[in-house]
Amino acid sequence: MSQQRHGSTPGSGSGNVPAFPDLPEATIARLPEYLRALHNLGEGGADTISSEGLAAAAGVNSAKLRKDLSHLGSYGTRGVGYDVALLIEQIEYVLGLDQRRAVCLVGVGNLGHALAGYDGFASRGFKIVALFDADAAKVGEQIHGLTVRHIDELGQVAVEESIAIGVIATPAGAAQAVADELVAAGVTSILNFAPCVLSVPGNVDVRKVDLAIELQILSFHEHRKATLTALPGGRSATGAGNQEAVGS
Amino acid sequence: MSQQRHGSTPGSGSGNVPAFPDLPEATIARLPEYLRALHNLGEGGADTISSEGLAAAAGVNSAKLRKDLSHLGSYGTRGVGYDVALLIEQIEYVLGLDQRRAVCLVGVGNLGHALAGYDGFASRGFKIVALFDADAAKVGEQIHGLTVRHIDELGQVAVEESIAIGVIATPAGAAQAVADELVAAGVTSILNFAPCVLSVPGNVDVRKVDLAIELQILSFHEHRKATLTALPGGRSATGAGNQEAVGS
DNA sequence: CGCGATTTGTGCACGCCTTCACAAGCGCCT
DNA sequence: AGGCGCTTGTGAAGGCGTGCACAAATCGCG
């Protein structure tokens, strides 16, 4: 159940290919955000950017950003900042975005339909190459230029297209079975939108996105805020915040 | 909105308003997962559940689960486990789910369209009461029983419907302006699907979900795995771990 | 050519979270 | 009634991540 980093003796790599250092998980999760900010800055015509500026664009602390970037080597110039183009290239390499990765999506329901056409995927280097569904009524349907196939074809197509990443957008009840099929087909990374826990072999990475959970967390904060305002001394932090229109 | 209805606050009868203890943020983020697992177990006919069992159903460590639950008071019985129904009630109360929260959604594009019809929201106590879009061509459109309104109506409708939570599903370029309007309309919690950083007053909570970022994180792990398998030392079968995550 | 302004990279301390390990409590069986 | 097994609740230790504060490095300018 735990996660053990420690690759296979990567540390002593004096050689050519970096052979990843142990990047903290928290850093990895922020790299895509930095990348997005860098692309924005680059399109704005900036050649270099300071850690302060990039941190602001990414919504993080500048010290944190510098430490994150230092983990993947020093690509900044003191007194100047970071070379935008170089940093983009570097982060994209670390994230493995320099090679297009084929993605398949299982479950063409309400959410899956939207994901299939989501611009954000294609614009960031991910291409959905196949759609699957268990419902025979949906098989054959055309969605954003792709034909929905029956899930039984998953194994064959996954090999043909070298699919490494699978997205599950099925109901919770079907998710585990789909995950098993994805694993059997050689998929080693799964993005799960179904509200359930998936059980997979240790070499398969799973990330879960549960939209309802996000709302529930917000609900808690709403509840807390409502409770605090009803109490004495419930001063909220962050002096910058001014309250408006909440009274009634 | 501010009618606080803590109907049956079990526990100490002396005080009335519980005045939340400082729940760790990490705990809060897991409570919805426990809740979902509990509902599943309850439907399966279980009256009580041990921390071990519930932890397995929620995909976490049992010690972590016990500590999480202990933070919101002791509702378990040693030697037996937790009363499923009681624990559900308790978590729902803490999360503020005992009161229905009105949600509005801005941006009825590809993703917004799917979110508007997402079953997972309604089934967990959230009701989308209004849809908005800036595109006049979309105004008036019927989506899952709701009529899309122009975003200029946001302020008025937000007050009428006592909307406290707003969901942004617009392109990145429009997100900040929408957020400003939501804040001006009294919304104090925002779920942002646009790939950008929002600037809001301190009393407003923002949670961000970026689908592409999730894929990029998976891409990194794919890249890392590919690099490792290309190195000597073979692949230890049992090794690595999977992780679930929620970006913050 | 040297100096100051600027910005990176990082050592260090602090706090949060996780995990272990175990005492305390509860029910059941004999 | 008493003991025994099971499970919760929690003290303590360790790890991870964050943020501060500062030395080192680089550029521009006089």
Q: What is the pLDDT of residue B229?
A: 74
Q: What is the pLDDT of residue B231?
A: 59
Write the pLDDT tens digit of every residue in B41-51.
999 999 999 99
- The mean-pLDDT minimum among A113-117, B12-16, B147-151 falls in B12-16
Flag whether residue B225 sits within 8 Å of chain A, measured between CB atoms: yes
The number of C-beta contacts closer than 8 angstroms across A and B is 273
Q: How far apart are CA A98 and CA A122, in angstroms?
A: 14
Q: Which is more confident, B15 or B165? A: B165
Q: What is the pLDDT of residue A204?
A: 97
Residue of A nearest to B120 (CA): A212
Write the pLDDT tens digit of every residue in B50-96.
999 999 999 999 999 999 999 998 889 999 999 999 999 999 999 99
Residue of B nearest to A13 (CA): B231
Whether B87 contacts B47, CB under 8 Å: no
Strands A146-150 and A81-83: unpaired
Q: What is the pLDDT of residue A232?
A: 56
Chain B residues 37-56 with CB within 8 Å of chain A: 37
Average pLDDT, integer, range B14-40? 83
Furthest C-alpha separation in chain B: 66
Mean pLDDT (chain B) is: 87
- Judged by DSSP in three states, B133 sits in strand
Whether B65 contacts B55, CB under 8 Å: yes
> B73 CA, D5 C1': separation in Å?
25
Q: What is the pLDDT of residue B240?
A: 39
Q: What is the pLDDT of residue B80?
A: 97
> B68 CA, C23 C1': separation in Å?
20
Q: For chain A of 248 residues, list the mean pLDDT of each consecutive stretch of 10.
A: 36 44 93 98 96 98 98 92 97 94 96 94 92 98 97 96 97 97 97 97 96 97 86 44 33
> B8 CA, D3 C1': separation in Å?
39
Confidence of residue B112 (pLDDT cuts 50, 70, 90): very high
Write the pLDDT tens digit of every residue in B154-185.
999 999 999 999 999 999 999 999 999 999 99
Whether A88 contacts A38, CB under 8 Å: yes
Query: With an 8 Å Cβ cutoff, are B184 and A244 in contact?
Result: yes
User: Taking each helix axis from N to C terminus, what angle separates A84-94 and A25-43, rounded to the nearest 10 degrees?
Assistant: 140
Q: What is the pLDDT of residue A200?
A: 97
Mutation for B interface: A27, A115, A216, most B CBs within 10 A: A216
Those residues with Cβ within 8 angstroms of residue A98's Cβ, 6 or more apart along the chain or in another chain:
A92
User: Does any strand C atom come closer than 7 Å to the Cβ of A48?
Assistant: no
Average pLDDT, integer, range B107-134? 94
User: Does any strand C atom come closer than 7 Å to the Cβ of A46?
Assistant: no
Confidence of residue B22 (pLDDT cuts 50, 70, 90): confident
Which of B 59-78 have CB under 7 A of nucleic chain C? Answer: 60-61, 63-64, 66-67, 77-78
> B87 CA, C29 C1': separation in Å?
29
Average pLDDT, integer, range B2-16? 37
